[in-house]
């Protein structure tokens, strides 16, 4: 019973935090841009959620290059939350199979983060609700009863504030991949 109460309390705290973060963005609270290593953000997020994937007996693959300059101007807290949200969603919505976290350089001036799962995939109808405020897919509440529909909306706001792009590619029965593409700061390139 205590475990159930704890989960309810944590879910409530997460919901309040999501509402506060969205409110900050909508009220013009700016990102605090500093030089950050995006590779470190991805590595830390992947490490934080490794146990959650293992507890579900999912194959958890982290494909992050050991070399390369992934330094960009960004708000570490907001970008960390966006990455954590996408990885957490992939784990949460994948009943069996695998989750793969990846990072690559797509050109001399941008990086690409991806998280791929082998979950149910997203219907065309539900894709229209992705990244919208309070948007819920038809089946999302079956998997995540605590969903408040703000996670992907906030991810989109964060990525756009960093002059980036976020999108998904999904096929029913085969899973989904979410992507974040961010520009590297040209003055930081070696």
Q: What is the pLDDT of residues 72-126, one digit of tens each?
A: 999 999 999 999 999 999 999 999 999 999 999 988 789 999 999 999 898 888 8
Query: What is the domain range of residue 89?
Result: 2-188
pTM for the whole structure: 0.83
Which residues are bridge partners to 107 per DSSP? 110
- Split into its structural domains, the chain has a count of 1
- Based on the number of CB atoms within 10 Å of its own CB, is 66 exposed (0-12), middle (13-18) or buried (19 or more)? exposed
Return d(Cα 112, Cα 88) in angstroms, integer.
18
Residues 159-181 pLDDT 10s: 999 999 999 999 998 999 999 99
- CB hemisphere CA count around 153 (13 angstroms): 18
Can you give the pLDDT at residue 131? 87
pLDDT at residue 4 in the model: 40
Instruction: Please say if the pLDDT value at position 15 is more than 50.
Output: no
CATH code for position 61: 3.30.565.10
Assess contact for 159 and 138: CB atoms under 8 A: no
- The first and second tokens of residue 34, run together, are 């500093």
With a cut of 90, say whether residue 26 has pLDDT above it: no
């Amino acid at each position: 019973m205590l475990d159930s109460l704890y989960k309810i309390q944590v879910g409530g705290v997460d919901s309040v935090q999501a509402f506060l973060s969205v409110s900050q963005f909508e009220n013009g609270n700016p990102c605090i841009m500093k030089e950050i290593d995006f590779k470190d953000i991805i590595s830390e997020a992947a490490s934080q959620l490794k146990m959650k994937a293992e507890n579900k007996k999912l194959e958890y693959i982290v494909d992050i290059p050991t070399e390369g300059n992934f330094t960009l101007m960004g708000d570490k807290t907001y970008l960390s939350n966006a990455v954590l949200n996408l990885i957490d969603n992939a784990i949460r919505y994948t009943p069996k199979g695998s989750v793969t976290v990846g990072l690559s350089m797509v050109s001399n001036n941008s990086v690409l983060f991806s998280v791929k799962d082998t979950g149910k995939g997203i219907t065309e109808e539900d894709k229209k609700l992705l990244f919208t405020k309070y948007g819920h897919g038809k089946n999302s509440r079956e998997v995540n009863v605590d969903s408040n529909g703000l996670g992907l909306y906030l991810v989109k706001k964060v990525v756009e504030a960093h002059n980036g792009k976020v999108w998904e590619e999904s096929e029913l029965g085969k899973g989904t991949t979410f992507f974040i593409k961010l520009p590297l700061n040209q003055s930081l390139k070696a």
